[in-house]
Amino acid sequence: MDATPPVPQPPPGARNLVVVVLDSLRYDSWLEAAPTNVAALGQVERRFSYASWTAPSHLNLLMGLLPHTNPREVYASEYYKQDFLRYNERLGVAGIEFRSFLPALFLPTYLKHSLGYANHARVSMPVLNEHTVINRDFDSYRLMPKHNDMAAMLDTLQFDPDRPSFCLLNVGETHYPYALPTEDPSRWPRISGVHGVFKHLDEPDALDAPEFFDRTALRELHGRQIKTVEYIDTVLARLFDLLPSNTWVVVTSDHGELFGEDRFFGHGPIAHEKVFEVPFVEGLVP
Ligand SMILES: [Zn+2]
């Protein structure tokens, strides 16, 4: 006997929700790139991720808690409650509050089993592969063959006219080595001590550099991340063109990146403001 509960009929007017996570993108790289297409969504905000690397940050995002505003003089649990109320506007559905997400406290579970959504994930980072715990209540969940090809995700997206969709897109161009899909991997930057980081994508203990990195190379790497934002902005324009009009879009990052500040490089086992500082923008698809 099939014990899976039936998926309910969605409330009328429920919107699609697309969350685009530009992996490792720090806020000032976004500002330097000044992407124009995504600016049509709304005003970009400087926000802060709850975690310094990919896996815990995505779990947090999927709990429904997007990067925070770092509010002062507010008790943390009050901030969470207010943040969950934002889903009324995002989804175009009334009556959503923190308690709605209980007991699973997992956005895809709530969307599917309470609101009748279809859930889809396209991820670039191997630490988010389909065997990990966050693949729960998704109708489709795919680790992309290349870590840095958001455009390839667009061809795989489908929106059911009878059922709203939630899509998580984890985008890897902005992750080390900040490479566009057209760039020959043999031309990717090589700086001493960093090769291992890329081989073990996002494993926080993979940084075994014998000495600190060359400052000029770090500046160039930051420049490469900025260039990827300019490119991703053109892919976002293509995404906006294919999304149904009744779609709420969030574009943000899972954590920032260090480019030599205070002798740190990368993200993960780092407690520094720049590893938590991320861009955040949301709005109805333009
Ligand atoms: Zn990440």
Task: Dump pLDDT digits (tens) for 118-140.
Answer: 999 999 999 999 999 999 999 99
Q: Classify residue 20 as exposed, middle or buried by CB count within 10 Å of its CB (0-12, 13-18, 19+).
A: buried
For residue 51, the CA-to-ligand 1 centroid distance in Å is 9
Task: Count CA atoms within 13 Å of residue 224 on its CB side.
Answer: 23
For residue 232, the CA-to-ligand 1 centroid distance in Å is 16
Q: Which helix (H) or strand (E) holds 91?
A: helix 76-91
Q: How confident is the model at residue 196 (pLDDT cuts 50, 70, 90)?
A: very low
pLDDT at 3: 64
For residue 27, the CA-to-ligand 1 centroid distance in Å is 14
Alpha helices in 143-204 (DSSP H): 150-154, 195-199
For residue 168, the CA-to-ligand 1 centroid distance in Å is 14
For residue 175, the CA-to-ligand 1 centroid distance in Å is 7
Q: Is the pLDDT of residue 191 over 80?
A: no
Q: For 178, left (φ over 0), alpha (ψ -120 to 50), or beta? A: left
Q: Tokens 């906006």 sit at which residue?
A: 240
37: tokens are 């297409």
67: tokens are 């990067």
For residue 201, the CA-to-ligand 1 centroid distance in Å is 9
Q: How confident is the model at residue 176 (pLDDT cuts 50, 70, 90)?
A: very high
pLDDT at 202: 52
For residue 198, the CA-to-ligand 1 centroid distance in Å is 12
pLDDT at 216: 85
Whether this model's pTM surpasses 0.75: yes
pLDDT at 209: 47
Compute the average pLDDT of residues 222-235.
98
For residue 270, the CA-to-ligand 1 centroid distance in Å is 13
Q: Is residue 21 within 8 Å of 61, Cβ to Cβ? A: yes
Q: Is the pLDDT of residue 267 over 80?
A: yes
